[in-house]
Amino acid sequence: MSENAASPLPTVDLDGEEVSFTEGDTLYEIASRSGHEIPTLCYDPRLKVFGSCRLCVVEVEGIRNPVASCTTQATAGMVVRTKTETVEALRKILLEMVVSENREVAVHPLRGYASQELHHLVEKYQARTGRFSGEQSGASFLEDDNPFILRDYDLCISCNRCVRVCAEREGDYAISIMNRGFHTGITTEFNGTLRDSACTFCGQCVQTCPTGALADRKALAVVEEIPSREKESAP
């Protein structure tokens, strides 16, 4: 063999299929390229991996607990299972916990490009049992009177995609996340309106939101699909 011949790429066993990868690839990237669907809510291919929603967990032989596929880099010879009974049960439980906090799941598609992601996953996993209930996080900022972006945080799941796209893609850093646990919320500097922040109203945050918590106000006005509290306050 020629000394200049390229070395064969390393491989992993992915659901019984031998799949090649390049150094630095995550299990999620490998699975996506090879047609193995793994659900996620915090992932956006344009952004740095975050690993907050945990829906993308997979089982790896030799590792005791399931791992987040979006943050786990592949190593040669890994044996990975993406749809075991345990993994699918974990995903359903996580979705049920998310749904227990949200005011609604089936939102109008005009809210934004990605606004149906949570709804589709809930339907797929039939995660509407209602067995989790109690305190809720997220408080809508319907007092923000800008004409472009509705801040309906009752639907927020703290995936941070909006915060990350504002910082990583636009460089505006207009929004951030505050507090922890049930007091977690998306905010602006001094918790004010978007008009008084560094927001340029580019709409990137709206289009990446997987629940419709950030929505296109002008589009919703066309179909009169705006939260009831906002309707009541309208002139």
Q: How far is CA 210 from the centre of its chain?
A: 6
What letter represents residue 198's amino acid? A
> What does the chain come to in residues?
235
The predicted structure's pLDDT at residue 139: 75
For the segment 109-131, the average pLDDT, to the nearest whole number, is 93
Q: For 156-211, how does the pLDDT look when each residue is reduced to its tens digit (9 = 90+)?
A: 999 999 999 999 999 999 999 988 887 888 999 888 999 999 999 999 999 999 99
Tokens 């939102």 belong to: 107
Nearest one of 197, 141, 202 to 174, comparing CA atoms? 197
In the chain, the domains with their CATH numbers are 11-83 (3.10.20.740), 107-233 (3.30.70.20)
Q: Is the dihedral of CA 18, 20, 25, 31 positive or negative?
A: negative
- Predicted confidence band at 39 (pLDDT cuts at 50, 70, 90)? very high
Q: For 58-109, how does the pLDDT look when each residue is reduced to its tens digit (9 = 90+)?
A: 999 999 999 999 999 999 999 999 999 999 999 999 999 988 888 889 999 9
Q: What is the DSSP string of 70-118?
A: TTPBP-TT-EEESS-HHHHHHHHHHHHHHHHH-S-S---GGG-TTTTHH
Question: Coil, strand, or helix at residue 13?
Answer: strand
* 165-190 burial code (b ≥16 CB/10 A, e <16): bbbeeeebebbbeeeeeeebbbbbee
